[in-house]
Amino acid sequence: MDNSKAVFVGAVFVALALFPWLGAGSYGIDLVTKIMIYAILALSLELLVGSTGLVCFGQAAFFGIGAYAAVLLSGEEDAASVLWLLPACVLAAALYALAVGALSLRTKGVYFIMVTLAFAQMAYFVVHDTALGGGTDGIYLYFRPGLGEWLVLDDPVTMYLFSLACLIGVFAFLAVLLRSRFGRALAGIKVNEQRMRGTGFTTYPYKLAAFTISGGLAGLGGFLFAVKDGFVNPELMSWHLSGAALVMIILGGLGHLRGALVGAFAFLLLQELFKTEAIFGDFAKHWHLGLGIVIIAAVAFLPRGLVGLPEQLRKRLAGVGAGERGGSLKNPLGEAKS
């Protein structure tokens, strides 16, 4: 990451850290907390799609497993400690990702997409049709986890800052991971897996490790979601959420960690915008239509996503400038000067 990109990411995190003290009300704090949680989900998927070239359509399963584990393991008598509950939720999601990856990574292309979707739907129907997850009604978190008086996640601002700390941790972890030998191997697999095998790399363990890490990070997002809302239901594992996460990273710009951040914020802020009746009136009931039109336009006019917009503008301005300079070398009759 060059200096300009690092400054941009740093500025985003500083702005998020100051946001609760900039006159943000309870609604704003709750909304941005939600966006940061989904940004973690988007970052986990970016590791697979943008960095490894594995289009997974079952990321919501790992997110939902982390959320359900947070509720099921917390109990109904006392608040659990974050020190063991958070790692347990990450581990539960990572173990399921390991099992899914071990089987699905033996397929490629559209078959891989369909197998990951099938495993996600299996997890969805387990919590939807059994008493384990409370069926369609979902289950409630009676006591939010914490760390005594040091960490009280019942407070919205504390939950906001804890989510921000997790987001920064996930971003930093992935940035270091992708710069490592492991990350370089994933980049090579994305470009040409056959050539990587020819150079002596056994690509399957690398892909399985990436799949497992991605699932664990999604489980972290699910844990935060359950703690924030105090409630989980089967919709957290639906294919709709997997599709939304995929749209986030495409909208932001594939192949860039900051693209996952920008895409998550853009997607959810646009969603909130089109839902606002004060702006769109009765059309707010059809917010999916407005959001879909914007996304189609973004894909059509921003092939590199939102993070590629500054470079696209620079090239266009440079082209205009070059055209003007070229035009100055001609006389009014259109003949070039000698």
Residue 47: inside a domain: yes
Q: Give Cα separations from 333 to 240, 323, 330 (angstroms).
A: 60, 17, 8
Sign of CA dihedral 256, 262, 268, 274: negative
Task: Pick 143 or 337 by higher pLDDT.
Answer: 143
Query: Considering only 53-57, 150-154, 168-172, which range has the smallest mean pLDDT?
Result: 150-154
Residue 170: inside a domain: yes
Q: pLDDT tens digits, residue range 252-305? A: 999 889 999 999 999 999 999 998 888 888 888 888 898 889 989 988 888 888
For residues 222 and 218, give the distance between their C-alpha atoms in angstroms, rounded to a whole number.
6
Residue 17: inside a domain: no
Tell me the pTM: 0.91
pLDDT of residue 317: 81
Residue 12: inside a domain: no
Sign of CA dihedral 284, 291, 136, 64: negative
Residue 324's pLDDT band (cuts 50, 70, 90)? low
Domain count, the chain: 1
Residue 333: inside a domain: no
pLDDT beyond 90 at 38? yes
Residue 216: inside a domain: yes
Residue 334: inside a domain: no
Task: Pick 98 or 325 by higher pLDDT.
Answer: 98
The CATH number linked to 219 is: 1.10.3470
Strands (E), the chain: 139-140, 231-232
Query: Considering only 45-54, 85-94, 164-173, 191-200, which range has the smallest mean pLDDT?
Result: 191-200
Domain ranges, residue 293: 26-327
Find the helix packing angle between 26-52 and 257-274, rounded to 10°: 140
Residue 8: inside a domain: no
